[in-house]
Structure formats: C-alpha cells, structure tokens
Amino acid sequence: MPAPSTIHVLNGPSLNLLGTREPEVYGRATLADIERMLQAAASERGFGLVFKQTNSEGALIDMIQEAGKTGAGLILNAGAYTHTSLAVHDALRALAIPVVEVHLSNPFKREAVRHHSYVAPLALGVICGFGAKGYVMALDALAAHLKEKEKTR
C-alpha cells in the first residue's frame, strides 16, 4: 500500500501561545490540542500530517519551501505575517501545491490592518472565524481538492 499523501500545516508567530493569549479572541485550545485533533482527522482521511510552528519569518519561508518539496498540500496560518509579509507571499507563489489559508479569529471583524492578506490571493480558499475547528474545515477542503485532482489524473 502506498504511503499517504502528506499535508503540511504551518503556523506563524505567537500561535505557540494559544490557550493563554487572548482566549476571548483565539479560544482556549492550545496548538498541541489543534495538532492532536488534526493528526486524528488526517489519519481518518488517509493523509499524513506535518505540523509546525515558528515565530521567525525566515523559518516560516523555509517551512513553506519544504512543504512544496515534500507535501501534497499546505494549510497555512501565517499569523500576523498574513498581513505584512511579501516574503511569505513570494514563497507561496513558488509552490506547485495547493494552499488553504486558515485563521482562528475573523480578521474582518478586527483592526483594519488585518483586513488585507498576502496569502489569500494564492490560496484555494480562506477559512476564518471558526476557532480550532477551522483547521479541520481547512483539512477537509484541502483533502477534497486533492482527491478530486487525483481522480482527474
């Protein structure tokens, strides 16, 4: 039996503080909680999962490039880099794999600076405002896209 396709889930700055950082905005789930939930969901759907977090823009770009080499798809919560990083945008432009952007909160209900995304124009779609469940929604959307793409081969 072939190894499952791997989906990379990358998380940007301050997401390591989930569960304690502004729980009224981001919820009480920790990043470890989200990883466990996604590992189980990916396994149920026949996918492997790589789950990482960094506070460094350069490291995030390295992770995006690695996902492009070894992954079938990418779920990205770039945190604040979503709204500020042309470097993240350029790294995503170089990918040949599909990307889904995810956010725990709804950036459009927040400060105006959060209304612009350098990720969204390069993503299949954006899932925001559903808390930790948004990651599973992103996984389902990406898995469905990958399975549909596989059928057309």
Q: pLDDT at position 4, please?
A: 63
Q: pLDDT at position 1, please?
A: 31
Contact 76, 34 (CB under 8 A): no
The answer to whether residue 3 scores a pLDDT higher than 70 is no
* Coil, helix or strand at residue 132: coil
* Coil, helix or strand at residue 36: helix
Tokens, residue 77? 């919560």
When the candidates are 3.40.50.9100, 3.40.50.300, 3.30.360.10, 1.10.3720.10, the CATH number that belongs to 6-151 is 3.40.50.9100
Supply the mean pLDDT for the chain: 92
Please list, in sequence order, all residues whose beta carbon lies within 8 angstroms of the beta carbon of residue 141, skipping any fewer than 6 positions away. 100, 124, 125, 127
Q: Considering the candidates 26, 81, 118, 135, report the single residue annotated as catalytic.
A: 26
Verify whether residue 103 is a known catalytic residue: yes
List, for residues 68-120, the tens digit of each pLDDT value: 999 999 999 999 999 999 999 999 999 999 999 999 988 877 777 777 899 99
Q: Considering the candidates 8, 81, 89, 103, report the single residue annotated as catalytic.
A: 103
pTM over 0.75: yes
Find the DSSP H helices in 49-151.
57-70, 81-84, 86-93, 133-151
List, for residues 22-60, the tens digit of each pLDDT value: 777 777 899 999 999 999 999 999 999 999 999 999 999
